[in-house]
Structure formats: C-alpha cells, structure tokens
Structure 1
Amino acid sequence: MRIKKTRFPYFATLFTCLSVFILIGLGTWQVYRLDWKNELISNLSSEYKKDAARYPLDFKTLLTIEDNNLKRGFITGQFDFSKEITVGPRRFKGKFGYDVITPFKLQGGGTILVDRGWMETSDSIILNRKKTWRTGKVSLVGTARTPKVPWDFGPRNAPSKNLWIYLDPDEIAVSKNLPDLLPVVFYLDETAATQNDRIISSTERVFPNNNHLMYAIFWYSMAIVLLYIYYLRFWRNR
C-alpha cells in the first residue's frame, strides 16, 4: 500500500513563527515596562515619605514635574480667591460635594492651582461668603503633581458657565486669565487645610497602575498556546 506524503506546511509554519516572535516581543516589552513602573512607584513612595516642610518649591522646580511624577514640599505666596472654582461633584463618605481649587500666586513669579480639599455641597454654596480665608503671604505644605486625566467618554468642562467636572489647567488658565499658570496642581496636606472652612484635605496617595506582569504572562501564554495548536494540527500525527 502506497503511503501518501503530507506536504510540509510552509505557510502555517511561517505564520506561526512570525506570530510567536511578535507575541514574545510584546511579552518582553511588558517585562521592561514592569521594571520601569516598579522603579517609578518606588521613587513615588520615597517622595511621599519626605518631610515636605523642609523642601521649598519654586516656579522652575514645579515646571520640571512630568506625568506620573510628583514633588513633596512647600510653596510660598498668596491666594487669589477672586478666581476660585469648585470641581465636581465628588463623593466622599456617602456625601456629595466639590473640590475647592484656588489659584495661588507664587513668591518669585508664576501661579499654581491649589486643591484645598473637599467641601460638602451645602457648604460650597456659601463658599464665597466665608470670612475665614487666609489672606496675605502664606506658606503651604503638600504635594505637587499633574492632575488625573479625565475619562475620554465622560462629561466635559463648560468654562463659559464656570462648570468644572475635572481639573484642566490649560482650560482654567484661559477661562480665568492666568497666563502664567503651571500645568501641575498643588494638593494641600491634611494638616495644612483651613480648619474653619470645613474643607477636608485629600490624603490620597496616587500611584500609576501596574499591570505589566499580568500583560507579560498573557502574551507569553498566547505564544505557548499558538505553538501547541501548531503542533496538534501539523505534527502530532506525523
């Protein structure tokens, strides 16, 4: 009986080799990203542990802060309450309220947005009537970082109506005529809040997501699965 020869699967072999090469490359790229992200998170953790009251932050220093980075320290200058805004609504411990954002004129030049904290809705309505603001030259302790990026499909700000859903320094700079506004936001420490304002300062420590190990395992697994399918289809019965 004559045995029929099976043709070598050139196209399938080429496709499998190319696909496995790409999948391994994607997995290896995620491993490199994992190392970078671990180092970044370690640096952020070290920065959060700093005694911010010992590190002055000026305009030039604040301007060097990039995405996914932050600096702890203190700033000196004066609030501009005439251009204060509220951002939200935000939910905190079962209640709705707004983040209170006030431009701060830095000593030595430049302006930065200061997130003074969260205020309950009923309090934010009478915010402009309060007489407990700290006027004149003050020093504030906290964390400077870029604001969170809004969800692409979420609601947008309406500067013409003074409605702010999220922080966008560029939009605020145009709307409030702040040409020297920095692209970062200064988040007050809890102990630095004006107690009489009934504002609750944020204690959130922001770290970037780190799912690169999971992604690396996924891509490497896909490479193994593809090789196994290729073996079952073309080589198991040879």
Structure 2
Amino acid sequence: MTAIRPGAWRGLIAPGLVSLLCLAILLGLGTWQLGRKSEKEALIARILARSKVEPPAPLPAPETWHPERDEFRRVRVAGSFQHEAETLVHGLAAGEVPGRALQGYYILTPFRLEDGGTVLINRGFVPTERKAPANRSAGQVAGPTTVTGILRGSELRTMFVPAPDPVRNEWFNRDIAGISASRGLADPRPYLVEADATPNPGGWPKGGQLRVDLPNNHLQYAFTWFGIAACLLGVFGVFAWRRLHDEPEPAVSARS
C-alpha cells in the first residue's frame, strides 16, 4: 500500500472546504424535498377530504374564517354577479392535447350575496382570445343565480411573480385583499370561491380548474439531490486519495 506523502493533506484543505459546503447544500435540498413531499401529501389528502363534502356548506362568517380549517371546503352561494368589476388573473390551464397548457386568464368576478356582503368568484379559465367580455358575452350571467365551488384563500406573490397592474386590470396571483381594494368592493369576504365545472352559457369561462391530482415528484427530486451528494463524496474521495498517495512530478528545469 502506497504511503501517504508528508504534508500532502495541506493541499486538501481548500477543496475539502468547498466540497463540504456543496455537500451541505445538496443534503439540505434533499431534506427539504422530503419535507415538501410530506406537505404535498397532506395537502392532497385535505383537498380530497374537504372537496367531497355533501351537501355543499354555506360560506363561513368572515370573522370565523381560518384557512387551515376551512380552505378547500365545498360551498354553495346565492346572489348575483357584478361583471363590470371582474378581474383578470394570468394563468395556465390544461389544453386538449396532453402535456400542452393553454395561456390565458382566470376570471375573478365579485358576487353580491343575497344575505349581504361580497365574495370573489373564480369563474374559471378563458384563453387569451376570450379576454374581452364581448368575446364571451353569453357567459355574463345576469340576475340571481347560485354557484357551487371550493373555498380558497389568498395566493402569496413570490419574488418571481410580477407585480399586478390594477390600471390595466391584470394580476398574476390570487390576491384577494388587493383585488377587492382595487375594485372598491363593499364588505368583501377574506376568501374566494373556485367555481366547479358546471358549464357556463357559451362555454366560457370554464370552471372546475382546481386540480386535486396535484403532482408529487418530491421523492424523485430528493433522490436526485442525495445521488449528486453521493457522487460528490465519491469524486472527492478519489481526488483526495490521489493527492495523498501519488508522487509529485519532478520539476523540469529550463536550460539556457
């Protein structure tokens, strides 16, 4: 067995520290993905359990609303739409071709409740060419109506999501408080209702966009990060063994 060269370990300090930092990051990412897996499984179970409650429940009182307890419950509301104050939220929806998403908007429309107050209804998705209400006029339901759907809370805007443009009536996340304030809604509820797949006249908007079969690939991602970490250990192990045991190349002197 080749002996360790004296002082060779000094050349491993800088590479070792860098490798240790990278290893900590990779293990952290893998552990985080395992945590996200547990969270996603709990979310899917909660959606399935709450969205299938029969019959649909009435809306919770604003002062008793609690997302952890009430979100994803199936509800039914009665009232009338205020189409003149609808809001467009950029989004994607599943297209007719599997794996290909459609770009367009979700239509959030204030709904004046029979018993007072206003709640936003996510009526569903429209493609970009149906953005203008005139291009889906049959779906602008007038007069008293009922809506069945799922309760949802606000969607936080992350650093990668653009800021809204209330002047142009374009938003990029489900900001219930912000949208309610920009539209001047009276007594808005702190949640919205995702309309179910009941067809609207003319076919647009298309409701029932809330997906219960959420993708859960976090275990695969965790294995990927842990696998890269194992490769890093292997590569550094080979590098360290060679650095410690290989004889240094003799210096070549230049002749004048």
Report the TM-score when normalising by structure 2: 0.65
Shift in Å, 1:206:
2.7
Partner SS state of residue 205, structure 1: coil
The reply to whether residue 45 of structure 1 matches residue 60 of structure 2 is no
Distance apart, 1:155 and its partner CA:
6.9
1:204 to 209, 212, 215: 209
Query: Are 2:103 and 1:121 aligned?
Result: no
Does structure 1 residue 182 correspond to structure 2 residue 189? yes
Distance 2:91 2:226 in 1: 43
Structure 2 counterpart of 1:215: 221
Q: CA deviation at 1:103?
A: 1.0
Distance 2:91 2:25 in 1: 44
Amino acid at match of 1:34: K
1:34 match: 37
Q: From 75, 83, 86, give the equivalent of 2:85.
A: 83
Query: Which aligned pairs between 1:138-177 and structure 2 lie closer than 5 A?
Result: 138-146=145-153, 157-161=164-168, 163-166=169-172, 167-177=174-184
Q: CA 1:61–1:40 in structure 2 vs 1: closer, same or farther (change >3 Å)?
A: farther
The answer (yes or no) to whether the contact 1:142–1:188 under 8 Å persists in 2 is yes
Change (3 A) 1:121 1:219: closer
Rg larger in structure:
2
Distance 1:187 1:4 in 2: 68
The answer to whether the Cα contact below 8 Å between 1:59 and 1:109 also exists between their aligned partners in 2 is no
Per-residue Cα deviation, 1:3-52 (whole angstroms, up to 9, x for no partner)? 8834252514455445434432332232122122122122223333333x
- For each residue in 1:67-98, what CA deviation from the matched residue of structure 2 results, as whole angstroms up to 9, or x when unmatched? xx522222244434453455569887699986
Distance 1:184 1:233, change over 3 A: same
Q: So what's the TM-score if we normalise by structure 1?
A: 0.69
Distance 1:55 1:19, change over 3 A: same
27 and 175 in structure 1: CA distance in 2 versus 1, 3 angstrom threshold: closer
CA displacement at 1:179 relative to structure 2: 5.1
Q: Distance in 2 between matches of 1:96 and 1:219?
A: 32
Structure 2, unmatched stretches of 5+, are 246-256
| Structure 2 CA distance for partners of 1:155 and 1:128, relative to 1, 3 Å | farther
8 Å Cα contact 2:106-2:122 kept in structure 1: yes
1-structure distance, mates of 2:158, 2:24: 34
SS at the partner of 2:204?
coil
In 1, Cα distance between the equivalents of 2:220 and 2:131?
44
Unaligned runs of 5+ in 1: none
Question: Secondary structure of 1:56's partner?
Answer: coil
CA change 1:232–1:216 in 2 (3 A) is same
Q: Equivalents in 2 of 1:230, 1:43: separation in Å?
A: 44
Deviations 1:140-188 (A, max 9, x none): 2111224666796777654335x33545433432232125323533122
- Residue pairs, 1:87-106, within 5 angstroms: 99-106=106-113
2:240 matched residue in structure 1: 234
1:133 correspondence with 2:142: yes
Aligned length: 228
2:119 aligned partner, one-letter code:
I
Q: Determine the structure 2 residue equivalent to 1:20.
A: 23
Please tell me the residue identity of whatever aligns with 2:34. Answer: V
Which residue type is aligned with residue 173 of structure 1? S
